Amino acid sequence: MTEHETKAQPKIARIWRGRTSAARADEYAVYLREAGVTPLLEISLGAQMFREDRDGESEFVTISYWESIEAMSRFAGPDPRRIHHLPRDAEFLIELPESVQVLEIALHRPPAGQ
């Protein structure tokens, strides 16, 4: 088997969204990357962090990829939609999200070269 055939393919995407004030957005971006996304990269099949700056606020979106609901549940617990707030989220976020979105990946095409 080739490496590509033996590597687990993402079947589930877990999407988290949060908003912070424009004044704290740069600071939160560093915190989210270090405290939230980097640990996700160690236990998931991959993760991405997005940022959209708007008038007066910035929205952050984190997407992590999982091979199954069971694999995601090992991270998230029995309810994979349960939110896992970072220790300083209340300090940064305009409001604390109440849930995450969990989607089945209907089509996955790895980037060229993978």
Chain mean pLDDT for the chain: 90
Task: Give the pLDDT confidence of 47-59 residue by residue, as tens digits.
Answer: 999 999 999 999 9
Length of the chain counted residue by residue: 114
- Model confidence over 70-107: pLDDT tens digits? 998 888 788 888 888 999 999 999 999 999 999 999 99
DSSP character for 19? Answer: E
pLDDT beyond 80 at 2: no
Coil, strand or helix at 35: helix
Class of CATH domain 7-104:
alpha beta
Alpha-carbon gap, residue 78 to 74, rounded angstroms: 8
Per domain, the residue ranges of the chain are 7-104
Whether the predicted pLDDT of 3 surpasses 60: no
